[in-house]
Structure 1
Amino acid sequence: MSAKRFTLLLFIFISSFTKVFAQRDTIGIKTIVTKTAQYINAYPIEKVYLHLDKPYYTAGDTIWFKAYVTIDRHQPTVLSNIVYVDIANEQDSLVKILKLPVVNGVANGNILLPPDVYKQGNYHLRAYTQWMRNFDTDYYFNKNITIGNAIQENINSAIDFKKNASTANKPVAVITYKETGGAPVINRKISWSIVNTNGDELAKGKGTTDATGNYTVSLTDATNLQNATLVANLETGKKEKLDRFSLKGAGAGYDVQFFPEGGELSRIAYKAINSNGLGIDVKGTVTDNTGATIANIQPQHLGMGAFVLLPEDGKSYKANITFPDGSSQVFDLPRIRPSGISMSVYDADANNLGIKLSANEPYFNANKDKVYYIIAQNGGAIYFAAQTALNTQSYSANIPKDKFPTGVLQLSLMSERGVILAERIVFIQHNDELNLSLNTDKKVFTTRQKVRLGVLAKKGAAPVSGNFSVSVVDESKVPFDEDNENTILSNLLLTSEIKGYIEKPNYYFQSKNANAAADLDILMLTQGYRRLSYRNIILNKLPQIMLQPEQNGLQISGMIRNTSAVPVPKANLRIQIPIKKYFAETLTDMDGNFRFTKLDFPDSADITLNARGNVNSRNLVITVNGEPYQPATKNVNAGDEVPDIDNAFKNLLANSKKQYDNTHTLKEVVIKAKAIVKKPSHTDYSALTGLPMMADQAISGERLKDCPNLYICVQTAFLGVFVENNNMYLSKNMSNSNKLPVQIFVNGQPVDYSFLNTIAGKEVETIEVFKTDGVSSLNRIYQSDGIVSIITKKPPVGQKVTYQQLQDMLPKGNIITFKGLGYAVAREFYSPKYDVLKQGAFGGDLRSTIYWNPKVKTDKITGATSLEFFNADGRGTYRATIEGFDADGNLGRYIYRYTVK
């Protein structure tokens, strides 16, 4: 096979072309570059990163965070001025949604974690803008948040999955219960059930814990349990201990995938994972169809590795893999195409990328002298484009790395017709981040002593004006796994660019890891990149934009109709927001639509819309459009979920319990018997006669007390429903094109879904969900599939009902008052001052987060600033972390530690 070295020429914005471009159906390289530039200008890439005060929490704690919203090459966004942050539980139901104003690319906020709402478990934290919702949710900010609960938990529980020979090697779940001191909880009754995401019960049972505190549940159909939950109730003598265990880890065993570099068999990467998605070390051999060993497979990093294979015509190949438990499996490698071309990239040189194109003989003979393009892009911007003719079977070339910015680079080999023949992603690392530093005047402090923390930001040797956030954490209470940290560098440069889960992302950004660069290149071989499709750009197959970027603050929109449901044009409408002393008027358009923009109000603020100033106003009905709402998605970082929280975070949990005990004392309670009062239900309303006596799901008003309005919260509180086009549907009908909506009743009266905007969670007594209508015929009458009954709270028995209260119980028409989803109110982090008080003047200061400041700025002249705070009572190592960016999109992170004695 011949080989010839050649020089790639940069052809961006070239003005002359070879004759080959005149051929029919060919695409000029300039056209590709120009169309890609037009695409990225029309569809800019926005990203969000959240800097949190610490990696995990306990119930009763607060998540403090700062959002960095970037565009293009990580500059502060100028596209969106609102960012959304939400948190979902293990059942993929949203628990909290925050809306925050973005100013100069940043926003700060917090999430309270009340123990009655945040049960112990793994939660999914997301952040995104409305513009980002037009694209794949994999590119949102996604992070797994583990929350322990030492306040309500006196018994620790854990789950483990094992295979049992007596059940044909199918998995079993072993639940272990231990008291806080470590003693097993024995001979306690337990009942359990397995439910899917729709709330349907798949299996159930009961039994007793054994002498070791264990209880075993047989999982005979693991295939269908990946999205299921095991709900276990343990009788403790006082109250039941309720646990919800995800069964994601119960699936069958291991999986291995193979990734030929550049499209054909040559250098082949592999990735071996367990059922939790975590990498596992495997060994093995590659053999051909004669049984001869061609290559050895050795582990390199987190289940990933690579081997070289030079395939021969007429032969097939297998990988013989041995797993950590001694089991083995044989995998067929992809078959060799009789004709093909591949692209290999060599990233060992510090200054250059080595590229090699290899065509087998049939392909070369069929395509000799044809034109090919090599294009390299980062973040949608093309930094290198070249063309060459295929006049030998093997080409080699070097591309200087200084042409590209730090980050994921996509290299594509393309035919002259614009068909992608091979792709490879590599990571360019220039180590050109901001030089950040923190310092104190000494390295050892005492408890409650004042600390003056100096901050310095530079780019190279030049001072930088930047926007940063700083956290200080007691590391003895919150140990960090530095490799597994989600940082501003690992997120904006790596995980936000790659689809799928990346295990221990910060490992690749730590200079102490000598093998990090080589391991990062293996990661690039095993990950997919589909943010940009040249083929779609060439064919003008552009994304469908459903949501525009939010640039005019908060908005409230809707429609005015008459009682016959006909839109009313030119109708007058007034808006009033008392808490902001705001008043405005507008007219509906010719289709009856109205919109108020550039609003600013806090979350759950009362908003009144009034259409009574119109002729025949009694016949007008105001409908408010729902807020832009992003349904919960699967946790893409499920591999980071912690199954045994009690043991994994025992230091933090023990500190949380001690902190709670120090601030709460029990008072004597006298219990007096009360008359049994019938709970409100659908049976109180004649319109709902015939519905089943027992609802498929019942939700108490207590669970919704913090809900601003039901329009938002029912989507997170209900199991087995989804919302589409302002209607609620049962999840079983998701793929049905002729699906019928759920009919909603409020106090026995039928309403549409948008009416839920007018009901605050604190006004709800109970909600019942019915998947069938029993013998009521309600589904036939209302052309629905499923019934929801909402009952609001009523005045206490014996209290007279005022006319206004009676009006409030009835659906409103021409005047409505509702709770708006406004900006979440950002609380200030409280840092106690001990400069005057004597040591021990307060109770023990057991805080794990010592200091949090999301508003740290440095000036351009010195690049410096300083912060002051006081240590807590914890002794050990305190860890200070600073993260942030400057106006040019330069990123930075730094960690500083000092000792408290």
Structure 2
Amino acid sequence: MKLSTSLFLSYILLSFCSPVFAQRDSISLNTIVEKANQLTQSHPIEKVYLHLDKPYYATGDTIWYKAYLTFGLHQPSELSKIVYVDIINSRDQLIASQMLSVKEGTAIGSIALTQPQFVQDSYHIRAYTKWMMNFDKAYYFNKTVVVGNAINKPVNTAIILKRTANSNNAGVNTIITYKDSDGNPLADKKVQWTITDNGEDLAKGKASTDAQGKLFINFPNTASTDLSSAVLNTVLDAGNHKEYSNSYPLKSVALPTDVQFFPEGGNFINGLRSKIAVKAVQPNGLGIDFTAVISDNTGATVTTCNSQHRGMGLFVLTPEAGKTYKAEVNFKDGTKDIYELPVAQTSGIIITAGTPDTANVYIKIAANESYLKSHLNKTYYLVAKTGQVICYAAKIKLTNPDFSAAIPANKFPTGIAQLTLMTSFGQPLSERLVFINRPDKLNLSVITDKKVYSNRKKVTMSVNAKNAVAGVSDLSVAVINETKVPVDEDAETTILSNMLLTSDIKGYVESPNYYFKGSSDKTASDLDLLMLTQGYRRFTYTEMLKNKIPQVNYFPEQGIELSGILRTSNGLPVKGGTVTLQIPSKYYTTRATTDAEGRFRFPGLVFADSAKIVISAKGNYNAKNMMVTVDGSSYPAMFPNPDEPDEQLNIDTKLSDYLVNSKKIYESSRQLQEVVIKAKAITKPGPSYRDHSALTGLSMPDHQISGDRFKGCNIMLQCLQGTLPGVTYDANTAQFYLSRSFNSGGRIPMALYVSGMPVDVGYLNSLNSADLASIEVFTRDELGMVNRAGQTNGVLAINMKVAPKGTKVSLQDLEELIPQAHTAKITPMGYTIPKTFYSPKYTPTGNGGAFGPDLRTTIYWNPRVNTEAGKATFDFFTADGKGSYRTVVEGIDKDGRIGRVVYRFKVE
């Protein structure tokens, strides 16, 4: 596959620091550059960034967002025309998924946080394209979004989890504080608690709250107990037959504090002065401050080190032959431990680098005496790249123990540059990341007609993109009442922090916007320290030179396409057959002809999500003996949230002010007051496994999940992954297994039934979540009537809703019950239709359509602000809330210049 990416090549700059030598190199420098160019053309990397209107939300809110899709050096992508956005809860369960149409590298969308689909939790939003599925999942856009709930919530909680460890005991101390909606402690209340992992109990107990509403729970956490997927579940008995349940993931206390050491250049070599970066990470994934004393194997103190920023620190050490080193680390929380430093190599060479000014990147290549003797006059390559683009390459001859040079910074765009020293055989020896900061952004600015406004007044705002190519840029604007929505600016995910930093390095980055919020020597020093502790997220030169590049399994989507195979009843492909596709809701019909292998395809389709599609071969001769099979779609498996440290356990207290306002909005808009119904309704049992003779040999289900849990689910197979208690889904085999059996090495899949009919896993994606009644999980089949027949272990029974008895059944309903092989009726994932943000327009004589108080927190959202001649102007109205209003403008131009600006004005 070769994709047109010629625009990348204009950035290739080769600069040779020394003349070409006469000796024949094993791999020429030009070969390395050419292979890198080929990789850029055949495997360009796309990035997705989502600009959200707010940093957090409440149930009942809407998340407004704009997707920016780029490739190369941040140019709007010309590859994919579809972006997917998944919303996943803290238990790694898919809650909703959206498909967006991309135009000129952008798309807009919204997520309505309705109940009961969205409950109070920390959600993981990920965005990607099908093309991105060919590469490391770490390239996806990932963001943690906290959602609180203030509606009909009489009990608020706050939890403290602390891992304890000593020579005799290891455990977790837990304190949960219960308060009512007015902030009064719930004293002397009984609480039942259990710790579960994949549906199995690890520990359980009972306790009562004290006079302050506090509940104390202590449980062991030994090395043999893995709490990474465990959950603490509590049920508080509030009296009057009212119980309130809460769940708390225990991932934050699953592991001890971790300390890692990172020698500059990647190697710790005897006789070479080395910077050693230190990173200390708490069990919750966040950095922790420390002091450290470094000593050698004789017990002598060599140096000391203090944390500089977010658990990161630095010290300098020249290792000596025959000596080893250790660090005694004292943490801010009072704990301490001893860690061994990496063992120094006896012989080696490293590259070090720095950017003390913005004009140059200063590099130094140093070899110790042993290495110099054995490699004198050998040729080495220095290659520097940003993203996939090689911006600098040089050939160097090793004649001295060290070599220094300055590389002009203008050879690089803003972002991370990877400097790699390699042999003439192409073997990487040492690597250093540096961050280049240049004046090549959009340079956005904002002004308003006033600096201070009163309630419900018109604001006229102008945006200027000074560096936009031809003055044209594509921007998004969010205005919030910052008094009601306080923002931790350091922790924000922005278009700058994502595209220039976190999307290019491995691992979690704490408070990424800190490095872009302001410019100072401290910020630059902290950013360079981050470069020393993170790895680069790109193909390695070793893989590239050996042609070990990712296999392309998914091609860039140019739109929705449905495809499949037409066969005869005996399995032979039908060549030249006619297949018809209908979208009844759109009165749309099209036809396709099958090829020699019986395949058909319908490209360029446009339909909304949940649309019903009919694909039929009825018009063919002998159609009754034909079968239509529609290809399934591939979606990425669920994986843990890469930004898990951003998840919040104490949402009630963290969002307290915001939730108070959310409750006021709900109460002011509520039309009906609560009505108490004393008579008991007569309910009939819903569909179950008992309705089907194939499953009547089963006993009671071990777990039952209501179909309402999957309301709005577009991709049933994804929504089931991680949702079913005691069940594990393995993406490699595409099968469900009992967790107990799977974790102990068993690989016998579960039986899968839909309304009493045995089906394969792929069938699940044809189900409409609106028709799902319940799912029953059976971990045992005592009589063996199901598992013996299919050589399975455990049963998943999926029950679909049925029409009430006496309901008139149409011919179409009968056809649905008895499907014809020559016709496929499917509900594939379609485009999510973007909603329009409502912004009231107040006049001296009208209320702008707003009834009652205007308590909005998002004052204005506009994802389609386009500058002409560098400028754009728009207007909106303030709400009733007073205080500081915060404006964020982000965007991009066609050449990949990105920009962001924050602007504030007051409402009094």
* Fold match (TM-score > 0.5): yes
Q: Report the secondary structure of 1:354's partner residue.
A: strand
**1:292 and 2:282 equivalent?**
no
What does residue 10 of structure 2 align with?
Answer: none
**1:603 and 2:605 equivalent?**
no
Query: Is the Cα–Cα contact under 8 Å of residues 170 and 221 in structure 2 kept in the other structure?
Result: no
Separation of aligned partners in 1, 2:858 and 2:493? 18
Separation of aligned partners in 2, 1:718 and 1:622? 32
Q: Report the secondary structure of 2:789's partner residue.
A: helix
Separation of aligned partners in 2, 1:47 and 1:172? 41
What does residue 303 of structure 1 align with?
Answer: 311
What does residue 578 of structure 1 align with?
Answer: 584
| CA displacement, residues 792-813 of structure 1 (integer Å, 9 cap, x when unaligned) | 2222234354554344334553
Q: Report the secondary structure of 1:501's partner residue.
A: coil
What does residue 657 of structure 1 align with?
Answer: 663
What does residue 682 of structure 2 align with?
Answer: 675
Whichever residue aligns with residue 534 of structure 2, its letter is Q
Q: TM-score, normalised by structure 2?
A: 0.93
What does residue 770 of structure 1 align with?
Answer: 778
Residues 767/252 of structure 1: CA separation in 2 closer, same or farther (3 Å cut): closer
What does residue 891 of structure 2 align with?
Answer: 884
Whichever residue aligns with residue 455 of structure 1, its letter is V
| CA displacement, residues 56-103 of structure 1 (integer Å, 9 cap, x when unaligned) | 000110000000000101011001000011110010011111000000
Separation of aligned partners in 2, 1:464 and 1:573? 49
Residues 593/753 of structure 1: CA separation in 2 closer, same or farther (3 Å cut): farther
Whichever residue aligns with residue 860 of structure 2, its letter is Y
Q: Report the secondary structure of 1:225's partner residue.
A: coil
What does residue 854 of structure 1 align with?
Answer: 863
Residues 863/704 of structure 1: CA separation in 2 closer, same or farther (3 Å cut): same
**1:83 and 2:83 equivalent?**
yes
What does residue 328 of structure 2 align with?
Answer: 320
| CA displacement, residues 234-284 of structure 1 (integer Å, 9 cap, x when unaligned) | 233464322221111123442110000013331100101111111111002
Query: Is the Cα–Cα contact under 8 Å of residues 457 and 463 in structure 1 kept in the other structure?
Result: no
Residues 781/591 of structure 1: CA separation in 2 closer, same or farther (3 Å cut): farther
| CA displacement, residues 368-399 of structure 1 (integer Å, 9 cap, x when unaligned) | 11111111000111111111111111222211
What does residue 6 of structure 1 align with?
Answer: none
Question: 1:707-856, aligned counterparts within 5 Å?
Answer: 707-708=713-714, 710-711=716-717, 713-715=719-721, 717-719=723-725, 720-722=727-729, 724=731, 727-730=734-737, 732=739, 739-810=747-818, 812-838=820-846, 842-856=851-865
Query: Is the Cα–Cα contact under 8 Å of residues 627 and 822 in structure 2 kept in the other structure?
Result: yes
- Between stretches 235-244 and 731-740, larger displacement belongs to 731-740
**1:249 and 2:257 equivalent?**
no
Separation of aligned partners in 1, 2:527 and 2:16? 33
Separation of aligned partners in 2, 1:820 and 1:795? 23
**1:414 and 2:422 equivalent?**
yes
What does residue 259 of structure 1 align with?
Answer: 262
How far the C-alpha of 1:569 sits from its partner, in A, is: 4.4
How far the C-alpha of 1:848 sits from its partner, in A, is: 0.5
Separation of aligned partners in 2, 1:505 and 1:469? 20
Query: Is the Cα–Cα contact under 8 Å of residues 236 and 244 in structure 2 kept in the other structure?
Result: yes
Residues 586/724 of structure 1: CA separation in 2 closer, same or farther (3 Å cut): farther
How far the C-alpha of 1:596 sits from its partner, in A, is: 1.3
Whichever residue aligns with residue 150 of structure 1, its letter is A
- Between stretches 538-547 and 554-563, larger displacement belongs to 554-563
Question: 1:89-100, aligned counterparts within 5 Å?
Answer: 89-100=89-100
Whichever residue aligns with residue 149 of structure 1, its letter is N
What does residue 176 of structure 2 align with?
Answer: 175
What does residue 5 of structure 1 align with?
Answer: none
**1:369 and 2:372 equivalent?**
no
| CA displacement, residues 454-509 of structure 1 (integer Å, 9 cap, x when unaligned) | 1111118x862100000000001111111111111111000110111001111111
What does residue 544 of structure 2 align with?
Answer: 537
Residues 331/727 of structure 1: CA separation in 2 closer, same or farther (3 Å cut): closer
| CA displacement, residues 101-159 of structure 1 (integer Å, 9 cap, x when unaligned) | 00000000000101312111111011111111111111111111001001142211122
**1:450 and 2:484 equivalent?**
no
Residues 750/569 of structure 1: CA separation in 2 closer, same or farther (3 Å cut): farther
**1:639 and 2:645 equivalent?**
yes
Q: Report the secondary structure of 2:461's partner residue.
A: strand
How far the C-alpha of 1:439 sits from its partner, in A, is: 1.2
Query: Is the Cα–Cα contact under 8 Å of residues 624 and 754 in structure 1 kept in the other structure?
Result: no
| CA displacement, residues 627-674 of structure 1 (integer Å, 9 cap, x when unaligned) | 231222211111111221111111110000111011113153544333
Residues 177/568 of structure 1: CA separation in 2 closer, same or farther (3 Å cut): farther
Separation of aligned partners in 1, 2:771 and 2:533? 52
Separation of aligned partners in 1, 2:743 and 2:190? 41
How far the C-alpha of 1:716 sits from its partner, in A, is: 6.5
Separation of aligned partners in 2, 1:169 and 1:758? 48
What does residue 701 of structure 1 align with?
Answer: 707
Query: Is the Cα–Cα contact under 8 Å of residues 11 and 30 in structure 1 kept in the other structure?
Result: no
Query: Is the Cα–Cα contact under 8 Å of residues 115 and 151 in structure 1 kept in the other structure?
Result: no
Separation of aligned partners in 1, 2:17 and 2:601? 48
Separation of aligned partners in 1, 2:137 and 2:876? 39
Q: Residue 413 of structure 2 is aligned with which of 384, 405, 423?
A: 405
Query: Is the Cα–Cα contact under 8 Å of residues 345 and 353 in structure 1 kept in the other structure?
Result: yes
Separation of aligned partners in 1, 2:391 and 2:219? 53
What does residue 9 of structure 2 align with?
Answer: none
| CA displacement, residues 36-66 of structure 1 (integer Å, 9 cap, x when unaligned) | 1111111101100000001000011000000
What does residue 190 of structure 1 align with?
Answer: 191
Query: Is the Cα–Cα contact under 8 Å of residues 426 and 541 in structure 2 kept in the other structure?
Result: yes
What does residue 626 of structure 1 align with?
Answer: 632
How far the C-alpha of 1:354 sits from its partner, in A, is: 1.6
Separation of aligned partners in 1, 2:716 and 2:368? 63
How far the C-alpha of 1:531 sits from its partner, in A, is: 0.7
Question: 1:193-592, aligned counterparts within 5 Å?
Answer: 193-196=194-197, 198-221=198-221, 223-236=225-238, 237=240, 239-265=242-268, 266-459=274-467, 464-511=471-518, 513-551=520-558, 553-563=559-569, 567-592=573-598
Separation of aligned partners in 2, 1:525 and 1:131? 30
Whichever residue aligns with residue 864 of structure 2, its letter is K
How far the C-alpha of 1:769 sits from its partner, in A, is: 2.6
Whichever residue aligns with residue 705 of structure 2, its letter is I
Query: Is the Cα–Cα contact under 8 Å of residues 163 and 253 in structure 2 kept in the other structure?
Result: no
Whichever residue aligns with residue 871 of structure 1, its letter is T
Separation of aligned partners in 2, 1:669 and 1:181? 23
Residues 90/837 of structure 1: CA separation in 2 closer, same or farther (3 Å cut): farther
Identity of matched residues, %: 45
Unmatched segments (≥5 aa) in structure 1: 1-9
| CA displacement, residues 809-842 of structure 1 (integer Å, 9 cap, x when unaligned) | 3455322322221000100000111115446972
Separation of aligned partners in 2, 1:679 and 1:804? 24
Separation of aligned partners in 2, 1:823 and 1:173? 45
| CA displacement, residues 855-900 of structure 1 (integer Å, 9 cap, x when unaligned) | 00011xx311211111111010101110000111001111111111
Q: Report the secondary structure of 1:193's partner residue.
A: strand
Query: Is the Cα–Cα contact under 8 Å of residues 727 and 741 in structure 1 kept in the other structure?
Result: no
How far the C-alpha of 1:213 sits from its partner, in A, is: 1.6
**1:65 and 2:65 equivalent?**
yes
Query: Is the Cα–Cα contact under 8 Å of residues 275 and 317 in structure 2 kept in the other structure?
Result: yes
Residues 670/735 of structure 1: CA separation in 2 closer, same or farther (3 Å cut): closer
What does residue 120 of structure 1 align with?
Answer: 120
Residues 740/610 of structure 1: CA separation in 2 closer, same or farther (3 Å cut): farther
Q: Report the secondary structure of 1:605's partner residue.
A: coil
- Between stretches 168-177 and 317-326, larger displacement belongs to 168-177
Residues 712/563 of structure 1: CA separation in 2 closer, same or farther (3 Å cut): farther
Q: TM-score, normalised by structure 1?
A: 0.94
